[in-house]
Amino acid sequence: MSKSFEFDLINKENDARAGEFNTPHGKIFTPTFAPVGTQATVKTLTPAQLESTGANLILANTYHLYLRPGAELISEMGGLHEFMQWKKPILTDSGGFQVFSLSEMRKIDQDGVTFRSHIDGSKHRFTPEKAIQIQENLGANIIMAFDECSSPYDESYSKQAMERTHQWAVRCQNAQVRDDQALFGIVQGGVFPELRKKSAEFISSLDFPGNAIGGLSVGETKKEMYQIIDVVNHILPEDKPRYLMGVGTPEDLIYGVQRGIDIFDCVLATRLARHSAALTNIGRMNLMNSKYSRDSEPIEQGCSCYTCQTFSRAYIRHLIMAKETLSGTLISIHNIHMLQSLMEHIRNSILENRFEKFAKAYLENYEYKPGITADKILS
């Protein structure tokens, strides 16, 4: 069972919340965005570079690390923090989502899932108990209950997966041995408000130190996603952090916070970076575009990240055209910094009761409009 992990709600503005979640590796200031370090590395970045973006909480993937290099090896090496040299909070997912999306030949039963590795085809089995054991070996600060993510529009499968997720949530609680990790429950139920309501009520009843909304951003419309968040968050307890899994565009961060989300994670910032796209406060930029070939401006005017303080768009475009992986590093630094900086502005605006005003102004400008710079919007 988890020790009590204190979550202090510092201020609320309508449903938006600013808080602090205490972990043995320091406070998580919410709302927060967690970059994804799937294989115990946020791709192309050193921990020092990652820290320079303002990142605090990061996520690592249980499925990947279980397969390679193995959770026991990481435990022997002193746990994830020591292994990857990230001294701030870490969250691991349960492996559930990857087992359903990445592995081959999976067979689900009430007890767990048997699957084949996407790396070498070897056969493995995850159960709720196994998912907890692996996550205890990895040693993150926040660990997740083992869940089943359904096809969002299949009602009968969504109901079945939700019920299994509930049974597994109880088994995860019972399986937990370490008391220094916060185990979060996960709400499922596809795009169906009644299922989501039922799931939120059941998961809330288990009194996890935090709760997550799973199974979103997997094909449903934005409208459906926001509706589900509304339904769920009005049921999940106020005094526990709420984590929206796998969501992290700038606009979704705003809309999520508006609906009472505290924690987000997403591969978008780093994946876009490796595909030449920068996130800015006014929209996305494709830095491969030839119009940047002689552009001496930074990616985003007014941005204080290492990349924008140092390099021109022209140089980054050159790196992209020359297939130099440094372009992915430089854009990743910018993209993560951009989201961290946005979250900081969001948090400050909540603390000062001007979040709604900030959100409205931000979203009006959010779209590519040359000439509008970040410092104008964020001031």
For a second copy, give the closer residue by CB, 43 or 159. 43
What is the token pair recorded at 10? 């510092």
Q: Measured between alpha carbons, how far is 327 from 318 in angstroms, rounded to an integer?
A: 9
Residues 6+ apart with CB under 8 A from 64: 38, 39, 98
* Interface positions with a second copy (CB under 8 A): 39-41, 43-49, 64, 68-69, 73, 76-78, 83-85, 293-294, 296, 306, 310-312, 314-315, 317-319, 321-322, 324-326, 328-330
C-beta of 10 vs 73, nearer to a second copy: 73
Those residues whose C-beta lies under 8 Å from the C-beta of residue 135, and which sit 6 or more positions away, are 62, 71, 92, 94, 143, 144, 181
Report the nearest approach of a second copy to the CB of residue 274 (Å): 9
Q: Does the active-site annotation cover 265?
A: yes
Between residues 81 and 242, which has the closer beta carbon with respect to a second copy?
A: 81
33/335 Cα distance (integer angstroms): 12
With respect to a second copy, which residue has the nearer C-beta, 186 or 330? 330
Strand partners, 18: 11
40 dihedral zone (left: phi>0; alpha: psi -120 to 50; beta): left
CA distances from 2 to 104, 143, 178 (A): 33, 10, 7
In the complex, what is the shortest distance from the CB of residue 68 to a second copy, in angstroms, rounded to a whole number?
A: 6
CB of 54 to a second copy, least distance (A): 17
Among residues 147, 252, 262, 265, which one is catalytic? Answer: 265
CB of 178 to a second copy, least distance (A): 22
Classify residue 27 by its DSSP letter: E
How many angstroms separate the CA atoms of 346 and 337, rounded?
14
Q: Looking at beta carbons only, is 103 or 211 nearer to a second copy?
A: 103
b/e per residue, 255-279, with b = 16+ CB within 10 A? Answer: bbbbbbbbbbbbbbbbebbbebbbb
The active-site residue, picked from 93, 147, 252, 262, is: 93
**Pairwise CA distance, residues 184 & 243, whole Å:** 9
- CB closer to a second copy, 174 vs 310: 310
How far is it, in rounded angstroms, from Cα 128 to Cα 95?
10
User: Taking the complex as a whole, how short is the minimal distance between the CB of residue 203 and a second copy, in angstroms?
Assistant: 33
The answer to whether 266 and 279 are in contact (CB under 8 A) is no
Positions marked catalytic:
93, 265
